[in-house]
Structure 1
């Protein structure tokens, strides 16, 4: 692992990092055999605009990110030592093959089925613990940080820590749906409590799913210690109107606003 990057066990420092998920760029490219838009070009533009990471979720059916994308992005990220490469996926499907081959900075274990349209729930404890344990240990032995995709369940954070994971990625769809409604405060409180429990257990914190320019700042103001947000669908949709570089900068402005710092 790059020594300049956090191991995920360090105290939270600085602003939340923005990791741009490029799945939807690959999805558009795959509709034609022309190689455009380029996934690596999109990654370069995002990094040049200030993103601190790139995320991909290569599914077994290669509906968007394909195997060659993972390898090409790994080569690209070697030129950006200040940024991180995060590969998401189900470790019982194809994720571990990529972890072993390219050794990204981080792998995010997601319990999705092969036919799911998108990730829609986190891991369950203690049900999933036994089968996850050896794969977490393997990834960490390879020098890869492990983050587990989790629902906002404060009581599960101790089990995650005991299993040896470095971080959790809080699955934020319920927050996104509640944002701007009478349920926002109560739903957000659950995420705040889960974050506090994770921090007490020494876990790092990521978050993602349906975060956007409207709800991101409120989330980061309320939830302590979020080290990274991974955003794809909304960010790429915004880029159709604003352009990719300006969209990344606008999401960074949302992050800075949550910390009360100008940009």
Structure 2
């Protein structure tokens, strides 16, 4: 029976979040926390694979206690079990430290029930790096299949999976051995509205929550800020685009005005060194 684990994250809704003008950092309190949209598609795909081939779907996240809400959302989508690692010593982790912590949690889940397939969203909307999934795969020494837009087949007996990977000018079909890790695109599926029974189940569900001390063989120096070699020095909102310019007059007048603007822009571009 397949055991599929989806790694997820609770993130601030970037459509609503504001920037702190004094610190140039995101004001996370200004926006509600949601399940990362890419991760929702990963969970939905895991549920679809379960329905096609049988098995169970677990979800795993790292975060503060309120991140339980993200796990409950995954139960609404159709996941069976939820696991969360939560400890102040995880705080401030970059993608390297995050992949390390999640790998240690996956090692513990593996001992509960062997893991056949790991799914992640392509990236998180608050970080946009796309590094955690491949980082987990590297640490577990399993194949990472990125930008997956379709899961064509899973053959547990022969131990392989066939997927379509999105590339710049189309897609490629890849066969990989199991276990492996997929990071999926949004276009892989549509996440439907949750069924009422799943909503009731999610409301009552209590996930498994582990601290650092409940994981095995953890190097504290590789967690949180201590284990994070990268630092975000500054974050700022991009400037708002200026409004368009309206050209008036006869068609010839408008053409002359447009050419004037183009020539002016070209002169400024050349003055800055061009290409």
Give the structure with higher Rg (CA). 2
Report the TM-score, using the length of structure 1 for normalisation. 0.31
- Higher helix proportion, which one? 1
